[in-house]
Structure 1
Amino acid sequence: MRAKKGPPDFILFITTMALLGIGLVMVFSSSAVTSNIRYDDAYHFFKRQLYWAILGIMAMLVIMKINYSKLKDLALPLMVISLICLVLVITPLGIEVNESKRWLGVGFLRFSPSELAKLGMIMLLARTMDQNLSSIRSFSKGVLPYLLLVALVGGFIMLQP
């Protein structure tokens, strides 16, 4: 049986756009003077933030079309990949930025594996909690495994120089 696809959540969309607008105003109001002094353009940081905001809106519109229930299957592989990336940061493959070695590079692209680990952990915790609802009240079966996963990810993040 296929789930019916409902209309987009316009309240969520409008709220997101309002928060985005407020954020853009805050960026401009807090950086206009500095931007004008450094770059001779009061809108320099605002333009950069607006660029990323537009890319984010486009990504949001694409992601809204995805059936998120299918993402359950990606939770475990994403968590494994993120743990491998967290280990790679500690090795010589890690890239140092601003005196901290918390980045990996693939070509011209740099990313922080801790961000990937947060996403993977949220997805895996949600998936496993959904599958194990009956044992969630037990400490040893319902709480401890999740605490161990959070401790493992947190430990790798704390090991980053």
Structure 2
Amino acid sequence: MDLLNGPWRRELARLPWGMVLIICAIAGFGLVVLYSAAGGSLNPWALKQGVRFAILLVGALALALVPPERWLGWAWPIYITLLVALVGVELAGAVRGGSQRWLDIGIMQFQPSEMMKLAIVLVLARYYQYVPKGYESRPDVLIPALALIAMPVGLVMLQPDLGTALSILFGGVVVLFLAGVRLWLFGTAAAAVAAMLPVAWSMLHDYQRKRVLIFLDPESDPRGAGYHITQSKIAIGSGGLSGKGFLNGTQSHLDYLPELHTDFAFATMAEEWGLMGGLFVIILYGLVLAWGIRTAISARSQFQRLLSLGLTATLFFYLAINMMMVMGLAPVVGIPLPLISWGGSAMMTVMILLGVVMGIARANRPRFD
């Protein structure tokens, strides 16, 4: 049977191929950045990243062919499985870089917290699909939803992984807001959080406190804890309007810029491509975000709308925090730049996210049988 004929061919034609090209353009530019970060070599980052992206792109397109209603049925099993995996991380997780975030499952080390960024949006979208309109803010509805957010956030904070915990929290809160929870409740929650900041501060690890203090005054320790952000701002500022030129970055190639291929990949790019390169990347990302919002607007059900908007907001969180971080506008929390920074778990999460949104877009496109 030829899978490219008949129904399969029609379904493939309904995929948002224009958006696939934009995603490939972002990832392709990311490979250029990684090639330069390695001093003009495909190894050790660009070649492996390219192969990884090609495999994950095929996977994302396969996910895009999954009917959105399937995700409605899979939401609870996925969430519960990942929650159990997070408990497993606490009991027997692998420790890397001082953090306990990975489960060793034989063929690979799996990071459940990465997938939970998507699962929290999925399960809350499914939860509010069946909540009658006007009931969103009732305590008997809101408290279980808050518990769904609090459990994974608490487990991830124990690892400790502040950046991922904030990402899970952000995705969950966005879905609550989009579902119709009253605005004054968010104001009350914000006031409560502000009142608890001294307690939260006392619970932070020493390195996390140092990150916040360095964010407020990076010049207080320019050769120690403030080194990363100081060198990042120097790299971005020295790029000017059009950059120093491909392979001509000095902060990165002379090893002044730490983590130049992961968390600070945007700074590596901005030094060589300047403001114009930065705007090019931001515009491409903007097109992806606008597409995600349009997909949600055209969706046929509450579940699809919440899922598309929640996942799009999660992608926005990745982008905003990473770019603000490298420019000194947010503390360093270890969130990579989607499709550009080196890393397998983060890229897999983003490609799954995009695949699900593409599936919603495909399901809501007119049929031409």
Shift of 1:127: 0.9
Shift of 1:76: 0.5
**CA RMSD for the aligned pairs?**
2.2
**Aligned partner of residue 103 in structure 1, secondary structure:** strand
d(CA) in 2 for partners of 1:27, 1:68: 35
**Aligned partner of residue 38 in structure 2, secondary structure:** helix
Shift of 1:32: 2.6
Q: Is the counterpart of residue 146 in structure 1 residue 135 in structure 2?
A: no
d(CA) in 2 for partners of 1:115, 1:70: 21
Match of residue 23, structure 1, among 27, 30, 35: 30
Shift of 1:61: 2.1
What's the counterpart of residue 48 of structure 2? 48
Shift of 1:110: 0.8
| Matched residue count | 149
What's the counterpart of residue 39 of structure 1? none
Q: Which residue type is aligned with residue 90 of structure 1?
A: E
Work out whether residues 96 and 103 of structure 1, in 8 Å CA contact, stay in contact via their aligned partners in 2: yes
Kindly provide the CA deviation profile for residues 40-89 of structure 1, in whole angstroms up to 9, marking residues without a partner as x.
xx111110111111111111222222212211111101111111111111
d(CA) in 2 for partners of 1:133, 1:15: 38
Q: Is the counterpart of residue 32 in structure 1 residue 38 in structure 2?
A: yes
Alignment of 1:125-140 (within 5 A): 125-135=124-134, 137-140=136-139
Alignment of 1:6-155 (within 5 A): 7-29=14-36, 31-33=37-39, 42-44=41-43, 45-91=45-91, 93-135=92-134, 137-155=136-154
| Higher RCO structure (Cα 8 Å, ≥6 apart) | 2
Q: Which residue type is aligned with residue 74 of structure 2?
A: L
Question: Unaligned 5+ residue runs, structure 2?
Answer: 1-9, 161-369
Work out whether residues 72 and 127 of structure 1, in 8 Å CA contact, stay in contact via their aligned partners in 2: yes
Shift of 1:125: 0.9
Q: Which residue type is aligned with residue 123 of structure 1?
A: L
Kindly provide the CA deviation profile for residues 7-47 of structure 1, in whole angstroms up to 9, marking residues without a partner as x.
11122222212222222222222x132xx6xxxxx111110
Q: TM-score w.r.t. structure 2 length? A: 0.37
- Report sequence identity in percent: 27
Q: Which residue type is aligned with residue 130 of structure 1?
A: Q
**Aligned partner of residue 134 in structure 1, secondary structure:** coil
Whose strand proportion is higher, 1 or 2? 1
Shift of 1:159: 1.3
Q: Which residue type is aligned with residue 38 of structure 2?
A: A
Q: TM-score w.r.t. structure 1 length? A: 0.81
Question: Is the alpha carbon distance of 1:157 and 1:14 closer, same or farther for their aligned partners in structure 2, counting shifts above 3 Å?
Answer: same
Question: Is the alpha carbon distance of 1:160 and 1:68 closer, same or farther for their aligned partners in structure 2, counting shifts above 3 Å?
Answer: same
Question: Unaligned 5+ residue runs, structure 1?
Answer: 37-41
